[in-house]
């Protein structure tokens, strides 16, 4: 099988550049630094089985939501870990995701921040 040139994804060739395409636009130095710092972590995460990351994220979210009473602080810690993880993924994917994807990801992170704040005040 012949090797394809860089930038060619498959038989159809590279996709045309349009709104919401997968080509980063206007990466600032800060974005590059974030991607450079995150690269070792992303390599480690991609080596893990996909189901493991899904199960751990769901478990941390569930444990964060069910902790009450004396273990309320532990629930806040679990929810904070999930929130920081999703915010980190949002920051990494921001340059390559379209507007609707950005809005959805931002809403998820905002909801997690709100849930974490409510949990820390004992209202959830």
Break the chain into its structural domains and give their ranges: 72-124
Model pLDDT for residues 39-77, shown as the tens digit of each residue: 999 999 999 999 999 999 999 999 999 999 999 999 999
Residue 32 pLDDT > 80, yes or no? no
Sign (positive or negative) of CA dihedral 74, 75, 78, 80: negative
Residue 23 pLDDT > 50, yes or no? no
Residue 20 pLDDT > 80, yes or no? no
Q: What is the pTM of this model?
A: 0.72
Burial class (CB in 10 A: 0-12, 13-18, 19+), 92: middle
Longest dimension (CA), the chain: 62
């Amino acid at each position: 099988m012949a090797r394809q040139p860089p930038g060619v994804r498959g038989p159809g060739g590279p996709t045309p550049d349009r709104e919401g395409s997968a080509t980063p636009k206007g990466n600032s130095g800060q974005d590059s630094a974030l991607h450079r710092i995150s690269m070792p972590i992303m390599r480690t995460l991609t080596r893990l089985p996909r189901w493991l990351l899904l199960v751990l994220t769901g478990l941390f979210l569930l444990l964060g939501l069910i902790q009450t009473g004396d273990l309320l602080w532990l629930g806040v810690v679990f929810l904070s870990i999930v929130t920081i993880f999703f915010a980190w993924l949002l920051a990494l994917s921001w340059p390559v995701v379209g507007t609707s994807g950005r809005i959805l990801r931002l809403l998820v992170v905002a909801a997690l921040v709100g849930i974490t704040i409510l949990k820390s005040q004992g209202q959830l």
